[in-house]
Amino acid sequence: MNALPEFFDLSGEVRDALARRSPIVALESTIISHGMPHPQNVDTARAVEQIVRKAGAIPATIAVLRGRVLVGLDDAQLERLANSNDVRKLSTADLPYAVSQRRDGSTTVAATMRCAHAAGIGIFATGGIGGVHRGAERSFDVSADLYELARTPVAVVCAGAKALLDLPKTLETLETLGVPVVGYRTNEFPAFWSRASSLVLSLRIDEADGIAEFLRAQRALGLQSGAVIANPIPAENEIPRDQMNGCIETAARAAEQACVTGKAVTPWLLERINALTSGRSLEANVALVKSNARLAAEIALSLAAR
Ligand code: PSU
Ligand code: MN
């Protein structure tokens, strides 16, 4: 195990699992503090940890509390993150501020990848990655998640990118940055709440073992990039794309009118879309995160068995 970076605190079980090289799945915390309302956020966070455990892996939810980077949260820490309105949304660039100012913050996909890698964890489950926003040709709003995927060797199991984004531009950018996007049992880039996007993926692997082999090859080749493991939402939980599109467009127009910018955009849109779908989008979001956690644990188990 590598030397633990300063400012990091690992939970006991994460420390043990690292020492024994047993399977671990990293989990992000922005989805808890900024991605879902209370109490669904904390309920989902707990349920997801439970799924990872049941599958035989150790969950490592990552967040910053009072300036410490925590890898593996206890229940009180989870609750604090889910309940406080003084939790910042931290991307990688925000980590030094939160640490040095001893703040509370939740980590986005980008920051979670970076912290997971520093702790020695290579598999991470979330809902959907950030990406290129609609209208990015005017706003230049492109998530730092994409750049982190280009430079940090952590595999992110997700239901694609949130469909409130511009998915074709997001995929193009991933390609430019040299980030492989592997479809799990799909030929299409999943659209978060919906299974299909009509965007064809060139890489497809249908078994967790195959994905573990792929990740081993990526490391052995000395590639420093991450990977997107794209797992479509389970069919029984999906909201078809034609039903989602109207809501997404309405929410995007409202965000522009309200002049929402920067870090606030994604949480604002998620909340608005949840209202416009009478809660269905949140239900779907919870289901897809659980499904991603299950697959991530399977991949982690397969990697650990090698
Ligand atoms: N996936 C979800 N809900 C979320 C997010 C992802 O299902 O709330 C968060 C992730 O933390 C992701 C972030 O990294 O939104 C992207 O924010 P931005 O577009 O500001 O980079
Ligand atoms: Mn942004």
For position 4, what pLDDT does the model report? 84
For position 173, what pLDDT does the model report? 98
Task: Determine the 3-state secondary structure of 133 from DSSP.
Answer: strand
Instruction: Give the separation between CA 107 and CA 111, rounded to whole angstroms.
Output: 5
For position 281, what pLDDT does the model report? 96
Query: Which of 156, 159, 126 has the alpha carbon at shortest distance from 233?
Result: 159
Catalytic residue (choose from 162, 188, 290, 298): 162
* 162 catalytic residue (yes or no): yes
Instruction: Give the separation between CA 52 and CA 290, rounded to whole angstroms.
Output: 9
Q: Which residues pair with 9 in a beta bridge?
A: 70
pLDDT tens string 258-306: 999 999 999 999 999 999 999 999 999 999 999 999 999 999 999 999 8
For position 2, what pLDDT does the model report? 61
Instruction: Give the separation between CA 207 and CA 217, rounded to whole angstroms.
Output: 16
pLDDT tens for each residue of the chain, 306 residues long: 567 889 999 999 999 999 999 999 999 999 999 999 999 999 999 999 999 999 999 999 999 999 999 999 999 999 999 998 899 999 999 999 999 999 999 999 999 999 999 999 999 999 999 999 999 999 999 999 999 999 999 999 999 999 999 999 999 999 999 999 999 999 999 999 999 999 999 999 999 999 999 999 999 999 999 999 999 999 999 999 999 999 999 999 999 999 999 999 999 999 999 999 999 999 999 999 999 999 999 999 999 998
Residue 13: phi and psi, rounded to 5, are: -70, -30
The protein residues having their C-beta less than 5 angstroms from ligand 2 (an ion) are 141
Q: Which ligand is nearest to the CA of 136?
A: 2
**Which residue reads 């080749």 in tokens?**
221
pTM over 0.95: yes
Residues whose beta carbon lies within 6 Å of some atom of ligand 1: 28, 30-31, 34-35, 108-109, 126-128, 130, 143-145, 162, 263, 266, 270, 285
> Token digits for 160?
């694609």
What does DSSP assign to residue 161?
A: B
Catalytic residue (choose from 28, 188, 238, 298): 28
Q: Where on the phi/psi map is residue 102: left (φ > 0), alpha (ψ -120 to 50), or beta?
A: left
Instruction: Give the separation between CA 154 and CA 223, rounded to whole angstroms.
Output: 11
